Structure 1
């Protein structure tokens, strides 16, 4: 190929050829503009930021593509290049990574066919070589992901707002590497602690830093062999010589996605260096616990620590956490239960202990209790590794210097599944715990229902944004002052930046709430319209002509007052309610309720109200099972205690009237949606135990997104198999109501973790697409995942103060996922503590929605949950699906009647 160019350009090789071609393309463009009458001095749009030589290649190829018909005017230096091949098939370096400024919305989720292989040419060779030069600029960039650009899913609507997030940038030293090795032991060593001791022996000899997971993966910052290397170590206690073989696998870049596991191990060591104790997934400072002696509780402060490579690089997420422990141990609880009722002691103990979590202070570990072994005591023996038999009394005395006081107490059982060395199968292992040294964690249901307990606990656990920022800064100061922590990071070329990130965000416009008679009210700065709801009519009222109120003799007054107050208050809501039929039950037995439901409810009754003297789950479950499955009728269960407060009874009855209106198919308010023909769906799954999961599926039925079709299916796992049935039924109901199928379907899925995203995309989305194909519809689908259990926290900075962001705050850059189309939304107003943003991931989109459309839609849907006159944390269809699945899984425990499918009977 000709070298091309004159003067100083001569001798620059192929780069000169491309520069000359670029200059001549610019000249050709200028001549064309003059021929068209366009002035050459007119301002041009600002080009995107340069990315080096890749931008030059990208610009060259785009201009060649636009000018392929005018190629005859090129100079010989350009003609000598086989440009037609370049024009007809762009090189992968140009196509595979679109510039964010050009492509503003996600197309990869829509495109399913692979890009055809480009035709080989000299220009292609140049592009590939230039790309290789870019990669080789850093010695640590050795994988394909090193040149993979992050995706962007950024909107522009709303007003700007200054934000801060609980992310700290991790800076990686240039040229540092991570080398992965496989470790093998001969003979095979099962105990994790022994494997770690052996690896520590050989690493001390080499004076090398290392990260070892205790299994077979070893990470080193330096390369010690190209193939494999064998060392010898001594197993302490047994004087057994063991051969440790280290096999080189591959070199990784510190920014690789595969290194996330390494980073979390690294920061686990940092947390231990700072004297934090791991409990579950988080780390706590047991030396600074807060005591609540009046409730026998103590609160440990701590952090949730996670590292990930986000859109703007490697980040450390640091979130303040608290762990509530009881100063009461399991033995004291068992004694307390026995003294209260010895006859039902074992049954009550199992109810209180099973599924609870205990903390053992001698090793700072937590265990889930799976059973109570009444016939096993600390006097019993178990086999050791060397074949001896030792009692639990002797073991704890020898290993932890703990003397068990009561040798006749029962033992607690913890089951865990462990991977068997040399096999992919897991086996269950049993671990016996002594109640006397096992401390209870968490709060009981009785504690949670006690206002005083929760108020005292909240003094330590309800942390303000300013307190979170202060804790984060204290953590950073401690890391800088701790030489051991600094050494751990420095060995791997890492450095923590000075502080957390300050980011620009956006606040979406305040929504307008539409009530009956088209009355429109602003949601206000706090996104709360409780007062407006009480003073306006509902958008769609269902009159009640026949209904019945059941009560016991002690609640007769409450029943009559409730019926008359319902009739008086309903008029202000635009609902007509006739006087109820009052039916007194002879007693409070569960069988009596069942008999009255079956015999006293008439076919003309629209709703059955039960005023119960106490809260009993068995009675509540029975009523819901009969009313929702066997005898389909809307039902309302009320605790008489809530009707006993004269100063609050009016607002309570008003809320019950609104709830009953929804259960009969009415609607309370709506919003203005700038589209037609869309169907919005929500999905959530309730887990009641093994093989007891229930999937709730909710779909909108009208243009105002105010009426819903609900279906619930029992399933055996999180990722359900019943979506085809659910979507088919929803499409048929939508057509019956709107006389046509929807043009777009937006499905919002709650309850999906990061590890399930790929499976959901392949498995669940495929089910929905197959239904649309079976109906032969041109309807397009958008699938959005909602995540609530995240560690991300957002703070608004106003006048130098750190506070909670206002409702409608959006953050969609910098700390979003590197290769996902996602954003964070704060939909609700929080006055106490710190608000939890909601994470949205657009997993699949064939509706061609831009980020602003998805973000605004999700925020609007947070206004439509009829159990609360304000915004909620997740979109309303997801919350409806959650309520539906929980109701069916906990109480109904059968498939609800289809007669209730178009009503919000589960509110």
Structure 2
């Protein structure tokens, strides 16, 4: 059997030897005078030279240049040690941390759900390359070899099954060979395992952080927590809510990251809501409600497909992607030993579970897995039994039920003091557990005794401006009373509008019109009585025909009062008014008008919303700059044909109160249609203002940590190229907004913890080590724990200071006209989110350009 040619570093070494022999043979035949050889390269230069030689001369070009196998292996071993020594001698200088700290605001003492991770300087993470002689193709054999070697040496390890090995100790400066024996199908096989030292890893490197997260995953399992999804839960100490067929598992989200002040563990309290109802019980309920098989299957698709289920026998979650109506538990599937077994026998044998209904359909979950001997993933199908599959989360009907949400909130709404207590309990359990301490000690790690105390700042409350020059200081991010008592800053008259309602909602419709006309004075506008259209029934076709018969070009806004909330009817109405007959539209559920005590406030908010849809503005805050365009961007997933919808919203005036909107269909999160949408926004700005914007600030939602670099190279470069193409001397500040984070901030005082006030800034210690970022708490929360928002300045040619960026983001949180208070993200982000959601979920077509300068999606 021919010996396999060497690969990787071995190939480079062999090529080097062949090149030397070739030089000698050529030099012996040549009569040219000898030329003085240049000095041999060292360090990195030596490695680069070997790579160059590898490119020039591939191994195996001439059989005459290769000596005996034993000699070549011996020479390769010497060269391997030489290269390993060169690599180990290299110094990898660690980057200095980035500081993005402001100064404005009054000091405030904060705490966070971060714990310092202390690293022993004498230990660390040492990276080795593993080679096997003879070569082993099977991953399980490589794992067994490394496991036997490290076990005999008493070493802890993390091995990926390929060639990378991580050890907590340094065993050699160059390379070391170990011999072990593994059992084969016919006889035992002796294998030489060569560990080549590469370098000591920096603590913040990606592989290193992954290793630490793996260690804490082991600790969570040691403490008897079960992983469900990404987080870990205590399935034995659950909370039962029997009246709603729900149970709640308490748990934690645990992650390790390198932050500005070093390695930190983020520990956040989590809860998993599990229904005690199985999919089988849900299928029976749907069958009773819909005896017709075709209608029954439609309801199953609507209620089951896409839902997440939980299997108690394995503590795993699955997303249901299909229902196999032609399969039952009596069907069989192949086993690893080549035989077949039925689902009934499998669950009885493996989990001692008896399947009762032998004719129920099976649930399908598809996943892609790696298989031995293949570099590509293969799709596998997992079949699940409805009878033992439990639904997770809450349905839309549950979420709309105030009683259910109130009962669930008793367990899931955790106060700051309760979160700190849970964090301390976890630390205590880790310190008491000998096995957990051993896992940490093996890698030179130690957990701090308590959470961090941090210096934060609170920005000054903003002045909110209304009509007639009135200004009100927002108290803890709320100005609800002022929004009802003061005139609008940009009112719009409603003199020609229509109201559609059914016979049974006549009283609600009359009361609504009366209140609208009475509220016109306090709002500072004129509202006349509408043309009222009474409908004989509430069928979708009736709304459609009546609208088409009565709509005219001079109609300003159409209002629909519907007796029930039906998505199909809502979609038809929005499609009519946003695509086919572009006009401002307001859909109201008559149930919201039934409470006589609150109806005035409700109608006032509806009137304000209608004003925005007509191009008016409600309030604003002071912006100390001119000529700036503020943009918001977000993406909605799940549009028609699997497409995503990219939403772009851009300001049109200096008070940042008028907006231009563009929605584009695309195939992925990062927009590849940004150029067209951004160009339209720039043209609209120039048409309205008569000049090009001096600076553009973009707040982008929906970008995770893994997409930051791609966003920088992809979206920001598109925007820069457009400005260059249009020859605009405009600078860009691009800010990524992340709201799905596990960071929690607590204000220290009064002998305990409480939620920090609105305007709290945290820009040190727990911020990212190499990013310009900060945390902002824009809202004031009295119940539960407030969620801060993470801001990352990904690109900035505007030269903005940290105080400027932080204050601007806080101001933008005041401008969302659906809420008279601050919101969690800047208003442009929320507008872009509402736009993309409406287009992708309801309209499913591009809206009319006639509505692009109005907030028609509120």
What TM-score results when the alignment is normalised by the length of structure 1? 0.81
Q: CA deviation at 1:712?
A: 0.6
- Partner Cα separation in structure 2 for residue 810 and residue 144 of structure 1: 37
Q: Is 2:230 aligned against 1:281?
A: yes
Q: Deviations over 1:605-658 (max 9, x none)?
A: 100000111110000000001100111000000111111111111111111100
Counterpart among 590, 593, 597 of residue 647 in structure 1: 597
Match of 1:301 in 2: 250
Distance apart, 1:350 and its partner CA? 2.1
1:479-514 deviation digits (Å, cap 9, x = unpaired): 000000000000000000111100000000110000
Is 1:733 aligned to 2:684, yes or no?
Answer: yes
Matched, 1:715 2:662: no
**1:548-559 to 2 correspondence within 5 Å?**
548-559=498-509
Counterpart secondary structure, 1:299:
strand
| Contact 1:195–1:215 (CA under 8 A) maintained in structure 2 | yes
Which stretch shows the higher mean deviation, 391-400 or 808-817? 391-400
Give the corresponding residue for 1:591: 541
Q: Structure 2: 5+ residue runs without aligned partners?
A: 1-86
Q: Cα gap change, 1:612/1:529 in structure 2, threshold over 3 Å: closer, same or farther?
A: same
Cα distance between partner residues in 2 of 1:198 and 1:278: 29
Q: Work out whether residues 772 and 794 of structure 2, in 8 Å CA contact, stay in contact via their aligned partners in 1.
A: yes
Query: Are 1:537 and 2:484 counterparts?
Result: no
Within 2, Cα distance between the matches of 1:323 and 1:799?
32
Residues 435 and 744 of structure 1: CA distance in aligned 2, closer, same or farther (over 3 Å) = same
Deviation at 1:716, TM superposition (A): 0.6
Mapping of residues 745-894 of structure 1, within 5 Å: 745-894=696-845
CA deviation string 1:530-570 (max 9, x = no partner): 10011000001110110000111111221122112101112
- Give the deviation of 1:351 after TM superposition: 1.6
State the alpha-carbon separation in 2 of the partners of residues 859 and 227 from structure 1: 58
Q: 2:152 aligns with which of 199, 205, 208?
A: 205
Deviation, structure 1 residue 215: 6.7
1:669 matches 2:615: no
Match of 1:636 in 2: 586
Alignment partner, residue 151 of structure 1: 98
**Residue ranges of structure 1 left out of the alignment (5+ in a row):** 1-139
Match of 1:450 in 2: 401
Q: CA deviation at 1:181?
A: 4.3
Say whether the 8 Å CA contact 1:700–1:709 is kept in structure 2.
yes
Distance verdict in 2 for CA 1:142–1:544, change over 3 Å: farther
Alignment check: 8 A CA contact 1:509 1:808 kept: yes
Q: Which residue of 2 aligns with 1:128?
A: none
In structure 2, C-alpha distance between the alignment counterparts of 1:496 and 1:182, rounded to whole Å: 30
Asked whether the equivalents of residues 176 and 195 of structure 2 are also in contact (C-alpha less than 8 Å), the reply is: yes
8 Å CA contact 2:414, 2:785 repeated in 1? yes
Residues 405 and 776 of structure 1: is their aligned pair in 2 closer, same or farther, counting only changes over 3 Å?
Answer: same
State the aligned residue count: 764
1:358 aligned partner: 309
Change (3 A) 1:184 1:282: farther
Q: CA deviation at 1:361?
A: 1.7
CA drift at 1:708: 0.5
CA deviation map 1:58-110 (0-9, x unaligned): xxxxxxxxxxxxxxxxxxxxxxxxxxxxxxxxxxxxxxxxxxxxxxxxxxxxx
Give the C-alpha shift of residue 336 in structure 1: 2.4
| Aligned residue number for residue 612 of structure 1 | 562
Residues 1:177 and 1:190: Cα distance change in structure 2 (over 3 Å): closer
* CA deviation string 1:235-262 (max 9, x = no partner): 8x99997969565463333513131110
Offset from partner CA, 1:323-356 (integer Å, 9 cap, x none): 1111122222222222232213222122211111
Instruction: Indicate if the aligned counterparts of 1:162 and 1:502 stay in contact, CA closer than 8 A.
Output: yes
The change in CA–CA distance for 1:745 and 1:184 in structure 2 (over 3 A counts) is: same
Q: CA deviation at 1:229?
A: 4.4
SS at match of 1:286: coil
Match of 1:656 among 606, 612, 616: 606
TM norm structure 2: 0.86
Work out whether residues 187 and 242 of structure 1, in 8 Å CA contact, stay in contact via their aligned partners in 2.
no
Q: Distance in 2 between matches of 1:499 and 1:821?
A: 27
In the alignment, what sits opposite 1:105? none
What's the CA shift for 1:231? 3.3
Q: Distance in 1 between matches of 2:181 and 2:846?
A: 63
Structure 1 residues 228 and 536: CA distance shift in structure 2, 3 A? farther
* Aligned match of 1:252: 200
Structure 2 counterpart of 1:334? 283
Change (3 A) 1:356 1:863: same
2:466 maps to 1:515? yes
RMSD: 2.2
The Cα of 1:686 is off from its aligned counterpart by 0.5
Q: 2:648 — aligned with what?
A: 697
